[in-house]
Protein backbone atom coordinates (compact mmCIF):
# COMPACT_ATOMS: atom_id res chain seq x y z
CA UNK A 1 0.00 0.00 0.00
CA UNK A 2 1.33 3.42 -0.95
CA UNK A 3 2.18 5.68 1.99
CA UNK A 4 0.51 9.08 2.13
CA UNK A 5 1.05 12.21 4.18
CA UNK A 6 -1.91 14.05 5.67
CA UNK A 7 -2.45 17.17 7.67
CA UNK A 8 -5.38 19.17 8.95
CA UNK A 9 -5.40 22.88 8.31
CA UNK A 10 -7.71 25.33 10.04
CA UNK A 11 -8.64 28.11 7.64
CA UNK A 12 -8.22 31.69 8.78
CA UNK A 13 -10.17 33.11 5.85
CA UNK A 14 -12.47 32.00 3.06
CA UNK A 15 -11.52 29.00 0.96
CA UNK A 16 -10.51 30.40 -2.42
CA UNK A 17 -9.80 28.80 -5.76
CA UNK A 18 -6.27 30.22 -5.66
CA UNK A 19 -5.60 28.65 -2.27
CA UNK A 20 -6.74 25.22 -3.50
CA UNK A 21 -4.62 25.53 -6.65
CA UNK A 22 -1.53 26.47 -4.63
CA UNK A 23 -1.92 23.37 -2.46
CA UNK A 24 -2.43 21.21 -5.56
CA UNK A 25 0.76 22.59 -7.11
CA UNK A 26 2.54 21.40 -3.93
CA UNK A 27 1.18 17.89 -4.58
CA UNK A 28 -1.73 17.93 -2.13
CA UNK A 29 -5.20 16.67 -3.00
CA UNK A 30 -8.37 17.49 -1.08
CA UNK A 31 -9.43 14.57 1.12
CA UNK A 32 -12.34 15.85 3.21
CA UNK A 33 -14.29 19.03 3.84
CA UNK A 34 -15.64 19.95 7.26
CA UNK A 35 -18.34 22.61 7.40
CA UNK A 36 -19.12 24.71 10.46
CA UNK A 37 -21.68 27.45 11.05
CA UNK A 38 -23.00 29.38 13.99
CA UNK A 39 -26.13 27.83 15.43
CA UNK A 40 -29.31 29.72 14.77
CA UNK A 41 -31.30 30.76 17.83
CA UNK A 42 -34.49 29.82 15.97
CA UNK A 43 -33.43 26.22 15.32
CA UNK A 44 -34.07 23.86 18.23
CA UNK A 45 -30.94 21.99 19.29
CA UNK A 46 -31.18 18.30 18.50
CA UNK A 47 -30.12 16.22 21.50
CA UNK A 48 -30.47 12.47 21.58
CA UNK A 49 -32.30 11.15 24.61
CA UNK A 50 -30.01 8.80 26.55
CA UNK A 51 -30.97 5.15 26.20
CA UNK A 52 -33.22 4.06 29.05
CA UNK A 53 -34.89 7.47 29.30
CA UNK A 54 -37.69 9.24 27.44
CA UNK A 55 -39.14 12.73 27.39
CA UNK A 56 -41.83 13.01 30.05
CA UNK A 57 -45.41 13.92 29.17
CA UNK A 58 -44.86 17.55 30.13
CA UNK A 59 -42.00 17.78 27.61
CA UNK A 60 -39.73 19.41 30.19
CA UNK A 61 -37.78 16.57 31.77
CA UNK A 62 -36.73 12.96 31.26
CA UNK A 63 -38.18 9.90 32.90
CA UNK A 64 -37.25 6.23 32.88
CA UNK A 65 -38.36 4.17 29.90
CA UNK A 66 -39.28 0.76 31.37
CA UNK A 67 -38.88 -1.20 28.13
CA UNK A 68 -35.39 0.20 27.48
CA UNK A 69 -34.45 -0.42 31.11
CA UNK A 70 -35.49 -4.06 30.61
CA UNK A 71 -33.16 -4.26 27.61
CA UNK A 72 -30.26 -2.88 29.66
CA UNK A 73 -30.98 -5.39 32.44
CA UNK A 74 -30.99 -8.23 29.89
CA UNK A 75 -27.67 -7.05 28.43
CA UNK A 76 -26.19 -6.83 31.94
CA UNK A 77 -27.34 -10.39 32.61
CA UNK A 78 -25.48 -11.56 29.54
CA UNK A 79 -22.36 -9.62 30.44
CA UNK A 80 -22.35 -11.04 33.98
CA UNK A 81 -22.57 -14.53 32.45
CA UNK A 82 -19.64 -13.65 30.16
CA UNK A 83 -21.69 -14.13 27.01
CA UNK A 84 -20.45 -12.87 23.66
CA UNK A 85 -22.20 -9.89 22.11
CA UNK A 86 -23.65 -12.24 19.48
CA UNK A 87 -25.18 -14.43 22.17
CA UNK A 88 -26.56 -11.37 23.99
CA UNK A 89 -28.06 -10.21 20.70
CA UNK A 90 -29.67 -13.61 20.16
CA UNK A 91 -31.08 -13.47 23.70
CA UNK A 92 -32.55 -10.00 23.09
CA UNK A 93 -34.15 -11.30 19.87
CA UNK A 94 -35.53 -14.35 21.70
CA UNK A 95 -37.11 -12.05 24.30
CA UNK A 96 -38.66 -9.93 21.54
CA UNK A 97 -36.67 -6.76 22.26
CA UNK A 98 -35.99 -4.40 19.38
CA UNK A 99 -33.97 -1.22 19.05
CA UNK A 100 -35.58 2.23 19.11
CA UNK A 101 -35.83 2.06 15.33
CA UNK A 102 -37.90 -1.13 15.58
CA UNK A 103 -35.14 -3.23 14.03
CA UNK A 104 -33.44 -6.25 15.55
CA UNK A 105 -30.43 -5.78 17.81
CA UNK A 106 -26.97 -6.37 16.34
CA UNK A 107 -23.71 -7.08 18.16
CA UNK A 108 -22.49 -3.63 17.10
CA UNK A 109 -25.57 -1.94 18.55
CA UNK A 110 -25.11 -3.81 21.84
CA UNK A 111 -21.46 -2.71 21.84
CA UNK A 112 -22.56 0.91 21.30
CA UNK A 113 -24.85 0.56 24.34
CA UNK A 114 -21.94 -0.32 26.66
CA UNK A 115 -20.96 3.27 27.61
CA UNK A 116 -24.56 3.96 28.64
CA UNK A 117 -24.60 0.73 30.65
CA UNK A 118 -21.46 1.86 32.46
CA UNK A 119 -23.21 5.13 33.33
CA UNK A 120 -26.31 3.49 34.79
CA UNK A 121 -24.99 0.14 36.01
CA UNK A 122 -24.67 1.33 39.60
CA UNK A 123 -28.36 2.21 39.74
CA UNK A 124 -29.38 -0.96 37.88
CA UNK A 125 -27.36 -3.18 40.22
CA UNK A 126 -29.07 -1.53 43.21
CA UNK A 127 -32.57 -2.45 42.03
CA UNK A 128 -34.46 -5.23 43.79
CA UNK A 129 -35.24 -6.89 40.43
CA UNK A 130 -31.50 -7.16 39.73
CA UNK A 131 -30.99 -9.07 42.96
CA UNK A 132 -33.76 -11.50 41.94
CA UNK A 133 -32.34 -11.88 38.42
CA UNK A 134 -28.86 -12.39 39.87
CA UNK A 135 -30.11 -15.32 41.94
CA UNK A 136 -31.59 -16.92 38.82
CA UNK A 137 -28.41 -16.30 36.83
CA UNK A 138 -26.20 -17.80 39.54
CA UNK A 139 -28.36 -20.94 39.68
CA UNK A 140 -27.78 -21.67 35.99
**Domain spans of the chain?**
65-139
Helix (H) and strand (E) counts in the chain: 5, 2
The residue ranges of the chain whose pLDDT is under 70 are 1, 45, 136-140
Residue 1 confidence (pLDDT): 58
The alpha helices in 26-127, defined as continuous H runs, are 66-80, 85-94, 107-125
Amino acid sequence: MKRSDRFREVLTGPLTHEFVESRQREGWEPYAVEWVRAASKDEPQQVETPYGLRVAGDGRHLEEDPSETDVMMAVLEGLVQDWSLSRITADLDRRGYTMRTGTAWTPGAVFDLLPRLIEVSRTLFARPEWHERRRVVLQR
